[in-house]
Protein backbone atom coordinates (compact mmCIF):
# COMPACT_ATOMS: atom_id res chain seq x y z
CA UNK A 1 0.00 0.00 0.00
CA UNK A 2 1.32 3.52 -0.79
CA UNK A 3 2.56 5.54 2.19
CA UNK A 4 0.30 8.11 3.87
CA UNK A 5 1.86 11.17 2.19
CA UNK A 6 1.51 9.67 -1.28
CA UNK A 7 -2.06 8.63 -0.53
CA UNK A 8 -2.98 12.12 0.65
CA UNK A 9 -1.49 13.71 -2.47
CA UNK A 10 -3.28 11.15 -4.63
CA UNK A 11 -6.70 11.97 -3.15
CA UNK A 12 -6.15 15.74 -3.48
CA UNK A 13 -4.94 15.35 -7.09
CA UNK A 14 -7.90 13.11 -7.95
CA UNK A 15 -10.40 15.63 -6.56
CA UNK A 16 -8.75 18.51 -8.41
CA UNK A 17 -8.83 16.57 -11.68
CA UNK A 18 -12.49 15.63 -11.23
CA UNK A 19 -13.72 19.19 -10.78
CA UNK A 20 -12.16 20.23 -14.10
CA UNK A 21 -14.86 19.86 -16.80
CA UNK A 22 -14.19 16.90 -19.05
CA UNK A 23 -15.86 14.14 -21.10
CA UNK A 24 -17.05 12.11 -18.10
CA UNK A 25 -18.65 15.15 -16.50
CA UNK A 26 -20.38 15.94 -19.81
CA UNK A 27 -21.65 12.35 -20.18
CA UNK A 28 -23.15 12.25 -16.68
CA UNK A 29 -24.66 15.72 -16.87
CA UNK A 30 -26.18 15.28 -20.33
CA UNK A 31 -27.81 11.96 -19.42
CA UNK A 32 -29.15 13.35 -16.13
CA UNK A 33 -30.55 16.47 -17.80
CA UNK A 34 -32.16 14.43 -20.57
CA UNK A 35 -33.55 11.53 -18.50
CA UNK A 36 -33.27 12.31 -14.79
CA UNK A 37 -30.96 11.52 -11.87
CA UNK A 38 -31.28 7.74 -12.29
CA UNK A 39 -29.77 8.02 -15.77
CA UNK A 40 -27.02 10.22 -14.36
CA UNK A 41 -26.27 7.59 -11.70
CA UNK A 42 -26.29 4.82 -14.32
CA UNK A 43 -23.77 6.82 -16.35
CA UNK A 44 -21.63 7.28 -13.24
CA UNK A 45 -21.66 3.51 -12.65
CA UNK A 46 -20.70 2.89 -16.28
CA UNK A 47 -17.73 5.25 -15.99
CA UNK A 48 -16.71 3.50 -12.78
CA UNK A 49 -16.73 0.11 -14.49
CA UNK A 50 -14.53 1.53 -17.26
CA UNK A 51 -12.17 2.97 -14.63
CA UNK A 52 -11.88 -0.43 -12.94
CA UNK A 53 -11.23 -2.18 -16.27
CA UNK A 54 -8.54 0.35 -17.21
CA UNK A 55 -6.97 -0.08 -13.78
CA UNK A 56 -6.76 -3.82 -14.37
CA UNK A 57 -5.24 -3.23 -17.80
CA UNK A 58 -2.60 -0.89 -16.41
CA UNK A 59 -1.84 -3.16 -13.46
CA UNK A 60 -1.38 -6.14 -15.77
CA UNK A 61 0.72 -4.17 -18.24
CA UNK A 62 -1.89 -4.52 -20.98
CA UNK A 63 -2.37 -0.77 -21.29
CA UNK A 64 1.26 -0.24 -22.27
CA UNK A 65 1.06 -3.20 -24.63
CA UNK A 66 -2.00 -1.77 -26.41
CA UNK A 67 -0.55 1.72 -26.68
CA UNK A 68 2.80 0.42 -27.91
CA UNK A 69 1.05 -0.56 -31.15
CA UNK A 70 1.07 2.68 -33.15
CA UNK A 71 -2.40 2.38 -34.80
CA UNK A 72 -4.13 1.56 -31.47
CA UNK A 73 -4.53 5.22 -30.47
CA UNK A 74 -6.16 6.19 -33.77
CA UNK A 75 -8.37 3.09 -33.86
CA UNK A 76 -9.76 3.86 -30.40
CA UNK A 77 -10.07 7.54 -31.27
CA UNK A 78 -12.07 6.96 -34.46
CA UNK A 79 -14.20 4.20 -32.95
CA UNK A 80 -15.07 6.44 -30.00
CA UNK A 81 -15.93 9.39 -32.25
CA UNK A 82 -18.17 7.25 -34.47
CA UNK A 83 -19.94 5.83 -31.40
CA UNK A 84 -20.59 9.32 -30.00
CA UNK A 85 -21.93 10.56 -33.33
CA UNK A 86 -24.24 7.54 -33.46
CA UNK A 87 -25.55 8.43 -29.97
CA UNK A 88 -26.16 12.01 -31.16
CA UNK A 89 -28.08 10.73 -34.17
CA UNK A 90 -30.17 8.41 -32.01
CA UNK A 91 -31.05 11.31 -29.70
CA UNK A 92 -32.20 13.44 -32.63
CA UNK A 93 -34.24 10.57 -34.10
CA UNK A 94 -36.19 10.13 -30.86
CA UNK A 95 -37.01 13.84 -30.45
CA UNK A 96 -40.80 14.14 -29.93
CA UNK A 97 -42.54 15.78 -32.88
CA UNK A 98 -45.61 16.99 -30.99
CA UNK A 99 -46.94 17.51 -27.51
CA UNK A 100 -48.98 14.30 -27.63
CA UNK A 101 -45.86 12.16 -28.02
CA UNK A 102 -44.95 10.24 -24.84
CA UNK A 103 -41.68 11.27 -23.17
CA UNK A 104 -38.74 9.13 -24.20
CA UNK A 105 -37.22 7.32 -21.22
CA UNK A 106 -33.74 5.91 -21.64
CA UNK A 107 -33.07 2.37 -20.47
CA UNK A 108 -30.74 2.55 -17.47
CA UNK A 109 -28.88 -0.49 -18.77
CA UNK A 110 -28.39 1.28 -22.08
CA UNK A 111 -27.11 4.43 -20.36
CA UNK A 112 -24.75 2.30 -18.23
CA UNK A 113 -23.42 0.53 -21.34
CA UNK A 114 -23.07 3.79 -23.28
CA UNK A 115 -21.02 5.42 -20.52
CA UNK A 116 -18.79 2.35 -20.16
CA UNK A 117 -18.14 2.01 -23.88
CA UNK A 118 -17.54 5.74 -24.29
CA UNK A 119 -14.88 5.72 -21.56
CA UNK A 120 -13.18 2.60 -22.89
CA UNK A 121 -13.04 4.03 -26.42
CA UNK A 122 -11.29 7.19 -25.22
CA UNK A 123 -7.54 6.55 -25.72
CA UNK A 124 -6.67 9.56 -23.58
CA UNK A 125 -8.42 7.94 -20.60
CA UNK A 126 -6.22 4.86 -20.83
CA UNK A 127 -3.12 7.03 -21.24
CA UNK A 128 -4.20 9.00 -18.18
CA UNK A 129 -4.36 5.87 -16.05
CA UNK A 130 -0.98 4.74 -17.38
CA UNK A 131 0.65 8.08 -16.47
CA UNK A 132 -1.30 9.12 -13.34
CA UNK A 133 -1.37 5.98 -11.18
CA UNK A 134 2.36 5.08 -11.22
CA UNK A 135 3.28 8.55 -9.89
CA UNK A 136 1.84 7.63 -6.49
CA UNK A 137 3.32 4.15 -6.13
CA UNK A 138 5.72 3.80 -3.19
CA UNK A 139 8.74 1.74 -4.21
CA UNK A 140 9.58 -0.84 -1.57
CA UNK A 141 6.12 -0.68 0.03
CA UNK A 142 4.90 -3.94 -1.46
CA UNK A 143 3.79 -5.24 -4.81
CA UNK A 144 3.67 -2.56 -7.52
CA UNK A 145 0.75 -4.35 -9.16
CA UNK A 146 -1.29 -4.39 -5.95
CA UNK A 147 -0.52 -0.72 -5.31
CA UNK A 148 -1.69 0.19 -8.82
CA UNK A 149 -4.90 -1.80 -8.31
CA UNK A 150 -5.50 -0.13 -4.95
CA UNK A 151 -4.92 3.38 -6.34
CA UNK A 152 -7.08 2.71 -9.39
CA UNK A 153 -9.90 1.33 -7.25
CA UNK A 154 -9.69 4.34 -4.93
CA UNK A 155 -9.80 6.70 -7.91
CA UNK A 156 -12.83 4.84 -9.29
CA UNK A 157 -14.61 5.14 -5.92
CA UNK A 158 -13.88 8.87 -5.60
CA UNK A 159 -15.04 9.43 -9.19
CA UNK A 160 -18.22 7.42 -8.57
CA UNK A 161 -19.17 9.57 -5.58
CA UNK A 162 -18.41 12.79 -7.47
CA UNK A 163 -20.28 11.77 -10.63
CA UNK A 164 -23.24 10.40 -8.65
CA UNK A 165 -23.62 13.75 -6.84
CA UNK A 166 -23.26 15.56 -10.16
CA UNK A 167 -25.92 13.34 -11.74
CA UNK A 168 -28.28 13.92 -8.82
CA UNK A 169 -27.93 17.72 -9.06
CA UNK A 170 -28.41 17.72 -12.83
CA UNK A 171 -31.35 15.33 -12.43
CA UNK A 172 -33.09 17.81 -10.14
CA UNK A 173 -32.92 20.35 -12.94
CA UNK A 174 -34.38 17.76 -15.32
CA UNK A 175 -37.38 17.41 -12.99
CA UNK A 176 -38.12 21.12 -13.31
CA UNK A 177 -37.78 21.18 -17.09
CA UNK A 178 -39.39 17.91 -18.12
CA UNK A 179 -42.84 19.33 -18.91
CA UNK A 180 -43.56 20.77 -22.34
CA UNK A 181 -42.56 19.93 -25.86
CA UNK A 182 -39.95 22.70 -26.01
CA UNK A 183 -38.03 21.33 -23.05
CA UNK A 184 -38.18 17.82 -24.48
CA UNK A 185 -36.75 18.98 -27.76
CA UNK A 186 -34.12 21.11 -26.07
CA UNK A 187 -33.08 18.15 -23.92
CA UNK A 188 -32.61 15.95 -26.98
CA UNK A 189 -30.80 18.68 -28.92
CA UNK A 190 -28.54 19.46 -25.96
CA UNK A 191 -27.65 15.78 -25.52
CA UNK A 192 -26.92 15.42 -29.24
CA UNK A 193 -24.79 18.57 -29.18
CA UNK A 194 -22.74 17.28 -26.24
CA UNK A 195 -22.15 13.92 -27.94
CA UNK A 196 -21.14 15.65 -31.19
CA UNK A 197 -18.77 17.99 -29.32
CA UNK A 198 -17.13 15.04 -27.55
CA UNK A 199 -16.77 13.27 -30.90
CA UNK A 200 -15.07 16.34 -32.38
CA UNK A 201 -12.78 16.48 -29.36
CA UNK A 202 -11.72 12.89 -29.95
CA UNK A 203 -11.12 13.48 -33.65
CA UNK A 204 -8.86 16.44 -32.86
CA UNK A 205 -6.72 14.50 -30.38
CA UNK A 206 -3.10 14.03 -31.35
CA UNK A 207 -1.14 10.95 -30.36
CA UNK A 208 1.34 11.91 -27.60
CA UNK A 209 5.01 11.53 -28.48
pLDDT at 47 over 90: yes
In a domain, 84, yes or no: yes
In a domain, 208, yes or no: no
In a domain, 87, yes or no: yes
What is the reported pTM?
0.75
Q: Which of 87-91, 139-143, 153-157, 184-188 has the highest mean pLDDT?
A: 153-157
Q: Indicate left, alpha or beta for 62 from its phi (over 0: left) and psi (-120 to 50: alpha).
A: alpha
In a domain, 190, yes or no: yes
In a domain, 158, yes or no: yes
Confidence of residue 207 (pLDDT cuts 50, 70, 90): low
In a domain, 209, yes or no: no
User: Could you give the number of structural domains in the chain?
Assistant: 1
Q: Which structural domain, as residue segments, surrounds residue 115? A: 4-17+24-203
In a domain, 42, yes or no: yes
Tens digit of each residue's pLDDT (9 = 90 or more) over 78-137: 887 787 787 777 767 765 554 444 444 568 899 999 899 988 888 778 888 888 888 888
Buried b (16+ CB within 10 A) or exposed e, 74-113: eebbebbbebbbebbebbbeebeeeeeeeeeebebeebbe
Task: Tell me the average pLDDT across 140-157.
Answer: 87
In a domain, 80, yes or no: yes
Amino acid sequence: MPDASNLYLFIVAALLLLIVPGPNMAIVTSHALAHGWRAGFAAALGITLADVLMTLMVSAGLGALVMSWAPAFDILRWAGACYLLWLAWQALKTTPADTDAPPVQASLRKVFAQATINSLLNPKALLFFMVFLPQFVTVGAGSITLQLMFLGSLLALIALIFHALLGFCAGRLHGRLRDGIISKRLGAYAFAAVMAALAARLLLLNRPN
